[in-house]
């Protein structure tokens, strides 16, 4: 099929035949890695956007329990941070009767 030896040159793929230069392959691989990373981030945050919900804090409630109840498929730590940020809280301290907005 292929011969090698004195006076015989190796065959190389031509650029027109589908050969991609190194930098183009690098850009394609980088794009694929970015797409996969974004996909994992969306899954980690529970998929697409949901409607905002409000919750009134009841006796015994904590941010952790609220996040675990309303986002059972998500990482609770991430959701506690999201709730704190959405409501402008400086920490995990909440009071009975306080209204919290839960991000989508």
Instruction: List, for residues 1-15, the tens digit of each pLDDT value.
Output: 555 666 666 666 555
Query: How far is Cα 82 from Cα 32, in angstroms, rounded to an integer?
Result: 28
Mean pLDDT of 34-48: 73
Q: Indicate if the pLDDT at residue 22 is higher than 70.
A: yes
Instruction: List, for residues 66-85, the tens digit of each pLDDT value.
Output: 999 999 999 999 999 999 99
Residue 65 CB coordination number (10 Å): 13
Quick check: pTM over 0.95? no
Q: Return the domain boundaries, the chain.
A: 15-102
**Of 81, 86, 78, whose CA–CA distance to 102 is shortest?**
86
**Of 94, 67, 66, 62, whose CA–CA distance to 79 is shortest?**
67
Say whether domain 15-102 belongs to CATH 3.10.350.10: yes
């Amino acid at each position: 099929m292929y011969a090698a030896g004195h006076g015989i040159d190796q065959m190389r793929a031509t650029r027109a035949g589908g050969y991609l230069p190194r930098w183009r392959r690098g850009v394609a691989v980088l794009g694929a890695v970015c797409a996969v990373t974004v996909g994992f981030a969306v899954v980690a945050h529970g998929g697409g956007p949901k409607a905002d919900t409000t919750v009134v804090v009841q006796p015994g409630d904590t941010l952790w329990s609220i996040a675990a109840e309303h986002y059972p498929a998500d990482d609770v730590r991430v959701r506690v941070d999201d709730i704190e940020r959405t409501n402008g809280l400086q920490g995990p301290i909440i009071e009975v009767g306080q209204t919290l907005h839960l991000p989508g």
